[in-house]
Structure 1
């Protein structure tokens, strides 16, 4: 949130703190609001009174407070406040609306009609956003703005944003944020990398599970490569050019082939441990395992299933992936020392794989770091990116205090 010394800013800041706490706790008492926000009782009383009058908070009867006592509970009533979400992928675009609680509605996924012309691609993006805006109007939803999750690297140059991704260079021909501003001049626009969006979703979900937000989190999504999102005290760390978290490009072998088209950097982590590398290893080695159920073109799902069933090739490939995954995570643990590491997207969710991963981490890490190691596998499917994109817009409104102006406008007090 921004710094401010005048009384209006202080009032807005306090209200945003309360709103954020209500968003993170589906049911909460006034006593726990005082405890969590560290605002005094009178301030909480005044803010909740105003919110009740506006209709964005409701009394929900008796609940159990953190001290175990039965007390009057409160719940936020802003389910109709949404962000329009656009997720830019290599072969398709996905769109939806997401409310302030991270609930997705009206999800659609459409392939590109023409992926060779950036203007035609932008036209298709506009069409999908317009459809979501029409859906919002038809359902009396209140739209905060448009939040766009991108693939590849998202490079920042002042207030210009450029996508850099292998095989889809056409997306880098325009300032993507500027393009959306031209198409929707009256909308708030937020653009960020999909891994950062996913990390926000993971951070928010973990906080709701444990009644406290992790101080730091590293989220790694695996697919064609590895993308990473770093959360520190609730904020995405983007680095100087916005590419912090591109963990897949971390070098682990300087004596190997050139990778990709963005640089001559070789021997990178995602070449050894990503889901794509797992498929590559099956394709390159399946003839050496005549009894395997796998084939040269086996899918990830088939490989993972064979691994669980004890197939020799799948066992070798997944054990190799676990070793390289642990090797990279060890380096990141020394660099970032995150409270929580979350693995998601196409990375296998498997107790068997988890045991192998932890076994390697125990070998690589000193005991002092291993004993606090907390690796979790994401509960999200691909919608985690969409949820995170919605939360990113909400955080922007809270950070700038614009949320108070927004709710004052759309929840006008009744005469």
Structure 2
């Protein structure tokens, strides 16, 4: 059983990769995410894609060690996916349903951010460490903790949900999760734009941000890189929020490394340096030298982590 599939189910697309235990990623592709109230239609799409891939590689299901799936929701210890807001499912034992429909066993399920962290730990930025905290900065803010090579999931599947750590108890606007003042409201791509728009309305300071028809997180960080004063204020504020949240998380799990991933992390060393500096200002002195790194696998972290779920579990 040399092979496995890694599947990363997102709100817009499903990424699929065929992996070899010895050679790593052999093939990858993606399909649109079919949404609905239950997972059967999407699982049928995944089954079709997997069977087509097996056929064109002259493989059979008997050659598979299993399938790993990353899904956008909390996954409990007993394998229950506790709802997927961006797709429309309620609580579902996705692994069991997938095994029955695809006729492959075992199938391992994990939260997408936690599985991405496992991918970076196994194949990416964290290959040389024993533990890490990964923070993904995208449409939302995700998080995952790897301790001694294993995903820390928690009883309810929410361990590592740094994006919903309360950073401002006086926030008046509501987060998508229903709470107020979550890190995600300030440090996600959407949250960064929200903060920037508020500041632009409430100040008359000059900025290239005012000249933009469509303001995005990328444009905000790009403006900071060229020295725009207001953009620098905003990116420093966002970095301070992130640094404080990471410091608080590290008090609990104390990982060897912190990895920043997601689309916003493409701001690169500029972002990494600001967040690391904010972290150092908000943590005990003996924790200040923690390693920080940018994710290496980018959008493929989910499929790599899903494959790691299989090979790690089977071993």
* Cα 1:375–1:177 shift into 2, 3 Å: same
1:120-159 pair list within 5 angstroms: 120-137=41-58, 142-156=63-77, 158=78
Q: 1:117 Cα shift?
A: 4.9
1:96-111 pair list within 5 angstroms: 96-100=17-21, 103-111=24-32
Is the 1:283–1:295 contact (alpha carbons within 8 Å) kept by the matching residues of 2? no
* Cα 1:339–1:185 shift into 2, 3 Å: same
Matched, 1:166 2:85: yes
* Cα 1:141–1:298 shift into 2, 3 Å: farther
Match of 1:320 in 2: 237
Of 241, 249, 266, 2:164 maps to 249
Match of 1:215 in 2: 130
CA distance in 1, matches of 2:27, 2:274: 39
Is the 1:273–1:324 contact (alpha carbons within 8 Å) kept by the matching residues of 2? yes
Unaligned runs of 5+ in 2: none
CA distance in 2, matches of 1:215, 1:94: 27
Matched, 1:384 2:301: yes
Task: Encode CA deviations 1:288-332: one digit per residue, 9 max, x unaligned.
Answer: 555415525233333332222223343232111111011101111
Is the 2:145–2:160 contact (alpha carbons within 8 Å) kept by the matching residues of 1? yes
Of 228, 231, 253, 1:336 maps to 253
Q: 1:236 Cα shift?
A: 1.4
Q: 1:184 Cα shift?
A: 2.5
CA distance in 2, matches of 1:237, 1:102: 27
CA distance in 1, matches of 2:205, 2:56: 53
RMSD: 2.7
* Cα 1:365–1:186 shift into 2, 3 Å: closer
Is the 2:115–2:305 contact (alpha carbons within 8 Å) kept by the matching residues of 1? yes
Match of 1:231 in 2: 146
Q: Aligned with 1:154: secondary structure?
A: coil
Of 83, 96, 108, 1:178 maps to 96
Q: Aligned with 1:301: secondary structure?
A: helix
CA distance in 2, matches of 1:243, 1:207: 23
Of 112, 116, 122, 2:36 maps to 116
Match of 1:274 in 2: 188
Is the 2:43–2:102 contact (alpha carbons within 8 Å) kept by the matching residues of 1? no
Matched, 1:190 2:111: no
Of 214, 222, 242, 1:297 maps to 214
Is the 2:13–2:31 contact (alpha carbons within 8 Å) kept by the matching residues of 1? yes
Aligned residues: 309
Is the 1:286–1:295 contact (alpha carbons within 8 Å) kept by the matching residues of 2? no
* Cα 1:326–1:297 shift into 2, 3 Å: same
Q: Normalising to structure 1: TM-score of the pair?
A: 0.67
Q: Which of 1 and 2 has higher RCO (CA within 8 Å, sep 6+)? A: 2
* Cα 1:208–1:279 shift into 2, 3 Å: closer
* Cα 1:131–1:310 shift into 2, 3 Å: farther
CA distance in 2, matches of 1:226, 1:148: 20
Is the 1:273–1:321 contact (alpha carbons within 8 Å) kept by the matching residues of 2? yes
Is the 1:274–1:321 contact (alpha carbons within 8 Å) kept by the matching residues of 2? no
Does 360-369 or 218-227 show the bigger shift? 360-369
Is the 1:147–1:393 contact (alpha carbons within 8 Å) kept by the matching residues of 2? yes
